[in-house]
Structures are given as structure tokens and as C-alpha cells.
Amino acid sequence: MITIISATNRPDSNTLKIARNYALLMEKHNIHPKLLSLEVLPRDIAFTDLYGHRSKEFDKIVTEFLVPAEKFVFISPEYNGSFPGILKVFLDAIHPDLNRNKKAALIGVSTGRAGNLRGMDHLTSILHYLGLHVHPLKQPISNVLHLMDENGKLKDEYTIRILEKQIEEFLNW
């Protein structure tokens, strides 16, 4: 199983829109990923789910989206030159042994021109520390607002092609 993680808790984010498009592209390969938006995390996760404690709400997320997953796709927006703090809290709340030796693909999203390259590098370092293997083809998506239609559907053919290339490589990895 593959879990796609929309790595922000911002409501109605462009990141979630890209994650939904990515899931649709995966379905063309007969893969039906689970989609986890960090919007659903417990509001007080930093106080209830760290240091060996786990709320029932967070345990349900872990059981449904993380335990059965063999691979993860992290789609992360650029926040202050890196990735969102909520993603770091999420990763800190998970015991490192849970995902050791699993695989991950990364996609960076930004309204600017760098596609969160720096954030993907930061996230790669953390995932390596946690024992996950990160696929080398990381996809930066820049100027995201110009790549989707008014309904959030990807309309840019180049972006669709690079995401499909990543999916093909990731599925065969």
C-alpha cells in the first residue's frame, strides 16, 4: 500500500490539490493510494501525542495510514524556506521503528520559482535519519497557482509528465 501525505494542515491548500491529482495519476497505474491530509491531525498533537503518548485519534491515523503502508509520497509546501512545522511534529509523534526501511518519494510545492527544493532537502535528511529510503527523483512544482484550473485539476502537461515519470520510477523501485 502507498500513502500520500499532504504535508500541511492549511485548509483547502494547493498541496492537497496536488496530492489529489497525484492520487488520480497513480490510479492510472491501477494503484489506489490512501491520502492523508495533515488537516485531520489532532489539534493538540504537540501536547498529546509525543514522548511515548498516543491519543485514540492519532492512533487511528497511524493504524490506517502508516502501519500498512510500504511506501509514502510526501507532498510538501514551502514554508519559510523549508517544510511546515506540522509535518515535523507529525514525524516526531511516530516511533522511528514504525517506518524504518520503508520508501518515500518527495514532491515540493510552491507559489514561487524553487518548488520547495530546500524543504525537500531538509525533509530528506530527516527521513534518512528515521531510516526511510528516499527516491532520488524529487519533483519540485513551482508557480503552482498557474498549473491548475479553477477546480484544482492539473492542466499543465509538463507537470503531469514529470509526475507520471516519478510515479513510474517509484512504483518500480
Q: What is the pTM of this model?
A: 0.94
pLDDT at 53: 79
What SS3 state is found at 104?
strand
Task: Please answer whether residues 105 and 71 qualify as being in contact, where contact means their C-beta atoms are separated by less than 8 angstroms.
Answer: yes
pLDDT at 96: 86
pLDDT at 77: 96
pLDDT at 54: 82
What SS3 state is found at 133?
strand
Taking only the tens of pLDDT, the chain with its 173 residues reads 999 999 999 998 999 999 999 999 999 999 999 999 999 999 988 888 777 778 899 999 999 999 999 999 999 999 999 999 999 999 999 988 999 999 999 999 999 888 999 999 999 999 999 999 999 999 999 999 999 999 999 999 999 999 999 999 999 99
pLDDT at 41: 94
pLDDT at 110: 93
CATH number of 2-172: 3.40.50.360
Q: Kindly state the helix (H) or strand (E) to which residue 21 belongs, with its residue range.
A: helix 14-27
pLDDT at 48: 82
**CA distances in angstroms from 64 to 61, 107, 110, 158, 161, listed in the order given:** 5, 22, 29, 33, 30
Q: What is the domain partition of the chain in residue ranges?
A: 2-172
pLDDT at 101: 96
CB-based contacts of 165: which residues, under 8 Å, 6+ apart? 137
Cell of 70: 510500504
